[in-house]
Amino acid sequence: MSRVGKQPVVIPAGVEVSIKEDQISVKGSGGALSLAQNVLVKVIQNDGKLTFAPINESREADAMSGTFRQLVNNMVLGVSKGFEKKLNLVGVGYKAAAAGTKLNLAVGYSHPVNIEMPAGIAVATPTPTEIVIKGADRQRVGQVAAEIRAIRPPEPYKGKGIRYADEKITIKETKKK
C-alpha cells in the first residue's frame, strides 16, 4: 500500500466533510471545494479522520489511494488555511498593481497587461514589485501563478522578468570575443 495513502487526513475544527457516492465535498471558512470520487479508492470517515484504502491489490488502486488522499488533504488545508504563491518582478520599470479582481502589469511591453483573476483567487500587491496570489484550491493558485510568470519569464543574462519568490535564476555569462 502507498505510504502516503496509509496516513489519515485529520479534519480540523470548523471544516465539514461530506462523502457521497460520486464526490467528496469539503466546506470551511475559506470556501467550499469538491472532488469527484474515484472508483479505485474507498474513503472511510470516523471520529474526525479520513482514511483511504485501495479497493483491490492492483498497482493502479494502490497508487490512486495515495494520490486521492493528498488531493483531499489539500482541499482540507485549503478551506481551513488557504494557499498562497509569491511572485517578484525584477527589471527597471517593472511594476504590478492589483485593482479588485484585476492585476495590471507593466513589464516592458509597449502596452500594459491586464489579467482577470478567476473566481476563488485573490491577488494583492504589497509593493509594486511583489505579487501575492491566494486561494483555497492549490491547483488553481499554482496555475494562475504560472500563467502570470509566463507573461515575462526570467531571462538568463540579466535575470529580468517575473519569478517566484523562492526561485533561483542562474545568470549566464555573455558571449566573449
Residue 75 has pLDDT above 80, yes or no: yes
DSSP-assigned states of every residue in 138-165? HHHHHHHHHHHHHHSPPPTTT--EEEET
pLDDT digits (tens, 9 = 90+) for 16-73: 999 998 899 999 998 999 999 999 999 999 888 999 999 998 999 999 999 999 999 9
- 172 in Cβ contact with 157 (< 8 Å): yes
- What is residue 1's predicted lDDT score, i.e. its pLDDT? 62
The yes/no answer on whether domain 83-164 falls in CATH 3.10.20.600 is no
What class, spelled out in words, does domain 3-80 have in CATH?
alpha beta
Q: How many CB atoms lie within 10 A of CB 48?
A: 13
Considering the chain, tell me which residue range(s) the CATH 3.90.930.12 domain(s) occupy. Answer: 3-80, 83-164
Task: Strands of the chain (E only): list them.
Answer: 9-10, 16-19, 23-28, 31-36, 41-46, 49-54, 83-90, 95-99, 102-106, 113-116, 121-124, 130-135, 161-164
Indicate the pTM of the whole model: 0.89
Candidates 64, 145, 152; CA nearest to 107 is 152
pLDDT tens, 143-155? 999 999 999 999 9
